[in-house]
Chain A
Amino acid sequence: MSNPTPPVGPGLPDTQTLVTEPTRAPEREGKKAKTGKPASLWTDAWYDLRRRPMFILSVIIIFVLLVMSFWPSLFTSIDPFNARSCDLSTARQGPSPGHLFGRDNLGCDLYARTIYGARNSIIIGVFTTIVTTLIGSLLGIIAGYKGGAVDAVSSRFTEIFFAIPAILGALLIAATFRGRANSILLVIVALGVLGWPMTYRIMRAAVITAKSQDFVVAARALGAGAGRIMFRHLLPNSLAPVIVVATINLGGFIAAEAALSFLGVGVLSPDISWGLMIADARNRFLEAPLPLVFPAAFLCVTVLAFIMMGDAVRDALDPKLR
């Protein structure tokens, strides 16, 4: 959906890049050596990640969100799907004891609705990511490994999906099949159909790089079959960038779900979604901003958590790019 993010992270330059004449220093620090096997790459990344406050923060937020979407009743005793919990005469009341965030335009408890909104965001984000990662990786690994005509055809095919503006395309698909399928499933499909090309590109590039490495050449010389080379050798060595992009995309898909729901083609009432809540609140936004502010804030924090996590993982996996 979005362009590959350039890496971030404040970083002191490492010795390797600054001492023009190679010294012994990098060897001692050698845990980051590029030549390391994937196993040690992940071990090192994990070691690095555990000490990053950004990563820890994002893990905590995501954990809370997961609990919130599986057991929302842990956070609130009000059931927002029960019509009796709303009271029109109290519409847009400010925060009060028992109604932490106040009430929305229909007099429903804003806090309970915001909590219950997490579930659809997480479901749609996670499943769209799974769908796009599977499609993109599979096509990418085949195109990267086979090269030649297979690569040319699949790359053109992918560009077709790149050429269609993602949000408009998803809007079109969601609107076309609106009401004919479960609205949440529909959002996943609509975003999934247009969301996989980025994963494809990254997987393909990673596979092409990995393909020329000695161990792959050796495996081929030893007579390993295409399937074995692709899934036992290339996949594990190309996974890192795909995982980073998947994490960042997850945040993007959650934002896209909110946008579609806001436009009325995503999650439909009576289901709850932050995008839908923002749409409901927008007409009275200037007089009563809270019904818009709370779901918006939850949305931002959720997206931020996933993007922060992706950033941290990338920095840990590729310290040279910092």
Chain B
Amino acid sequence: MGRYVIRRLIQAIPVLFGATLLIFCIVFALPGDPIAALFGDKRPDPAIAEVLREQYHLNDPLLLQYWYYISGVLFRGDFGVNFADVPVSQIMAGKFQVTLNLALTALVMEAVIGVGLGLWAALRRGKATDTMILASTLLFISVPTLVTGFVLQLLLGVKLKQWTGADIFPVAGTFAGWRSYLLPGFVLAGTSIAYLTRLTRTSLAETLRADYIRTATAKGLSRRRVVGRHGLRNALIPLVTFLGADLGNLMGGAVITETIFNLQGIGNQLFQSVYLREQPVVVGIVTILVLIYILANLVVDMLYALLDPRIRYE
């Protein structure tokens, strides 16, 4: 187990540096002079501009700039400041919370609905329920977030409020606390729910065909125990992998949902910062997301090893 963990950690290092460097390069290819942008319409005093350039390491080679940046992030948790001298970490903090809440809501929905529907379908394999669940997954995979977002906003948000008079699913902002995340969370989770449903179904169906399931039945165990203990425990392994890896996807993919539901998350912030050419903020956000992706995958690898002894003792 120890060696496995260490190997995974080592493998994550080049990914971390590679991905952040790539982002750094793309972002600093952003057109325009950030110092000039800082002064708006006024022409900055060349001397002051030079001082600022020096202060932000803008005159150094790109690789050196990258090193200043990434060492600050990794060793001091310092994401730098934007050109208005506001720490990037401060800009991100609140927004990050919003996106994290959104992604976690989506993840929970995904796990509950996706696994639930998948199990249901697997146990009714070939029957009408199964066919219906499968057909609806195809639909959910095919309808882009962009569309589900607006449609559900209209139907469950606006129309439902008109009919019932109660604001069950708020359609914009985060004023209603956790309830604000229900609808956008579901929209964000939509495609993943469908994938997870399919994955659960095939995984369990495959597992229930295994020889050890026949053994468990031959041991005189009840159907409930055979499926619930022997089947589910094995079928779970790919599901955990999917869920863990999906946290990163959800946070990264939240930008559309945030735009539709007017949530002030990091997706929204990134979008604005790209337009304002706030490179440090842009890099900061993507770096955080890359870190989350890598961490989530490490956790998945550990869980995988915990769930499957064949990997633990390899």
User: Complex Cα distance A12/B205, Å?
Assistant: 12
Residues in A neighbouring B203, C-beta threshold 8 A: 6
B199 touches A156 (CB 8 A): no
Measured between C-beta atoms, what is the minimum distance from B111 to chain A in Å?
15
Majority-rule SS of B interface residues: helix
Residues in B neighbouring A134, C-beta threshold 8 A: none
B234 interface hit (Cβ, 8 Å): no
A164 touches B195 (CB 8 A): no
Which of A8, A173, A289, A311 is the most central at the interface, judged by chain B CB atoms within 10 Å of its CB? Answer: A8
User: Complex Cα distance A167/B26, Å?
Assistant: 15
Which B residues from 182 to 241 make CB contacts under 8 A with A?
A: 191, 195, 198-199, 201-203, 209, 214
B249 touches A289 (CB 8 A): no
A168 touches B252 (CB 8 A): yes
Contact with A along B116-151 (1 / 0, CB 8 A): 000000000110001100100111011111110011
User: Complex Cα distance A320/B282, Å?
Assistant: 46
Partner of A2, one of B11, B30, B143, B191: B191
B198 touches A168 (CB 8 A): no
Q: A6-B195, A171-B271 are in contact. Are A160 and B18 (CB under 8 A)?
A: yes
A307 touches B134 (CB 8 A): no
Partner of A10, one of B31, B134, B137, B251: B134
Q: A6-B201, A160-B19, A171-B271 are in contact. Are A285 and B255 (CB under 8 A)?
A: no
B195 touches A9 (CB 8 A): no
Measured between C-beta atoms, what is the minimum distance from B242 to chain A in Å?
6
Residues in B neighbouring A263, C-beta threshold 8 A: 255-256, 259, 271
A282 interface hit (Cβ, 8 Å): yes
Residues in B neighbouring A303, C-beta threshold 8 A: 142-144
Measured between C-beta atoms, what is the minimum distance from A61 to chain B in Å?
11
A180 interface hit (Cβ, 8 Å): yes
User: Complex Cα distance A175/B278, Å?
Assistant: 13
A159's nearest neighbour on chain B, judged by CB, is: B15
Residues in A neighbouring B142, C-beta threshold 8 A: 251, 300, 303-304, 307-308
Residues in A neighbouring B249, C-beta threshold 8 A: 3, 165-166
Q: A7-B202, A175-B275, A292-B150 are in contact. Are A160 and B15 (CB under 8 A)?
A: yes
Measured between C-beta atoms, what is the minimum distance from A118 to chain B in Å?
15
Partner of B138, one of A11, A308, A321: A308
Measured between C-beta atoms, what is the minimum distance from A49 to chain B in Å?
16
User: Complex Cα distance A303/B142, Å?
Assistant: 5
A321's nearest neighbour on chain B, judged by CB, is: B202
Contact with A along B14-31 (1 / 0, CB 8 A): 111011001100110111
Measured between C-beta atoms, what is the minimum distance from B58 to chain A in Å?
17
Q: Which of B59-67, B79-87, B289-297 contacts A (4 or more CB under 8 A)?
A: B289-297
Residues in B neighbouring A12, C-beta threshold 8 A: 126
Interface size class of B (residues with CB under 8 A): 35 or more
B286 interface hit (Cβ, 8 Å): yes
User: Complex Cα distance A175/B26, Å?
Assistant: 10
User: Complex Cα distance A286/B150, Å?
Assistant: 10
Q: A6-B202, A8-B134, A263-B259 are in contact. Are A299 and B26 (CB under 8 A)?
A: no
A7 touches B259 (CB 8 A): no
User: Complex Cα distance A130/B251, Å?
Assistant: 28
Contact with A along B24-48 (1 / 0, CB 8 A): 0011011100000000000000000
User: Complex Cα distance A57/B64, Å?
Assistant: 56
Measured between C-beta atoms, what is the minimum distance from B276 to chain A in Å?
11
Q: A6-B202, A8-B138 are in contact. Are A180 and B150 (CB under 8 A)?
A: no
User: Complex Cα distance A307/B214, Å?
Assistant: 35
Measured between C-beta atoms, what is the minimum distance from A76 to chain B in Å?
23
A300 touches B293 (CB 8 A): no
Partner of B18, one of A8, A157, A171, A286: A157
Given A165-B253, A168-B267, A172-B270: 14 more A-B contacts, CB < 8 Å: A3-B242, A3-B249, A5-B198, A8-B198, A156-B18, A160-B15, A172-B274, A176-B274, A180-B31, A262-B146, A278-B147, A299-B147, A300-B142, A303-B143
Q: Can you pick out 7 interface pairs between chain A and chain B where the beta carbons lie within 8 Å of each other? A: A2-B191, A9-B134, A13-B125, A164-B23, A168-B285, A169-B286, A282-B260
Residues of A within 8 A of B (CB): 2-3, 5-13, 17, 20, 156-157, 159-169, 171-173, 175-177, 180, 251, 255, 258-259, 262-263, 275, 278, 282, 285-286, 289, 292, 296, 299-300, 303-304, 307-308, 311, 321
